[in-house]
Amino acid sequence: MATFYDKYGGEETIAKVVDYFYDLILADETVNHFFKDTDMEKQRRHQTKFISYALGGPNQYTGQSMAKVHAGMNLQPEHFDAIVNHLQAALEHFGVGAGDIDDALAKVGALRDDILYK
């Protein structure tokens, strides 16, 4: 069975989804302040590798654990939910099927406890 990664065109497509995803995030005052001091070009590359791996692509993710990355941010449920909603919108925008979106969001949801309240 083809992975989500293969089914939708691999890292090239995921990079487009990530770009659109961050455009939505940066336009959202609920969460954009978390990225005010972030090198967004580096962040987009890093996130593309992470999401590619999470969706069945090769493991090129060399970053820190989710808990470490989000330490000191004190992310609350409304922040997490806003990010998830933007990811869903980005996946829908690029024609990803509902079942595949549900699978992707379930994988992201599994990280919730590693991200919140750190």
Residue 33 labeled ligand binder = no
Q: Hey, what's the torsion of the CAs at 69, 73, 79, 84, to 10 degrees?
A: 0
Q: Is 70 annotated as a binding residue?
A: yes
Q: Using CB atoms within 10 A of its CB, is residue 49 exposed (0-12), middle (13-18) or buried (19+)?
A: buried
Q: How far apart are CA 90 and CA 68, in angstroms?
A: 26
Mark the binding-site residues for heme, compressed into ranges.
Answer: 46, 70
Mark the binding-site residues, compressed into ranges.
Answer: 46, 70
